[in-house]
């Protein structure tokens, strides 16, 4: 496995928009943490550094709305109510909680 970029230690990650913009990977900043790609149908954010994309998943996840499971592309065997115990299990196992200081959506 190859990794691209530097090793980021706890406490080094940007905590605001200015910090994120300052650590964006580009020709001028080849060791930047974040790389943004925009296409017609999708936008992608990638992590560059020891740890790869796990550097940026930021442990942020939401339980999707019930309507998401009705969209095309989901297997009909996957139902919202069947998934709820697994979201709860992951939340408990990871000791997940709200992002401090973030506004509720």
Question: pLDDT per residue over 52-62, tens digit each?
Answer: 556 766 556 77
pTM: 0.48
Among 47, 35, 49, residue whose Cα is nearest residue 7: 49
Residues 75/81/87/88 CA torsion (nearest 10 deg): -160
Whether 41 has a pLDDT exceeding 70, the answer reads yes
Residue 80: is it exposed, middle or buried by C-beta count within 10 angstroms (0-12/13-18/19+)?
Answer: middle
């Amino acid at each position: 496995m190859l990794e691209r970029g530097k090793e980021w230690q706890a406490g080094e990650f940007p905590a605001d928009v200015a910090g994120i913009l300052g650590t964006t990977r580009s020709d001028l900043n080849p060791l930047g943490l974040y790389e943004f790609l925009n296409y017609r149908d999708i936008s992608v954010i990638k992590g560059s550094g020891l740890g790869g994309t796990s550097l940026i998943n930021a442990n942020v996840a939401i339980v999707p709305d019930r309507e998401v499971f009705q969209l095309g592309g989901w297997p009909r065997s996957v139902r919202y109510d069947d998934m709820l115990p697994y979201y709860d299990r992951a939340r408990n196992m990871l000791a997940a909680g709200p992002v401090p200081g973030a506004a509720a959506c």
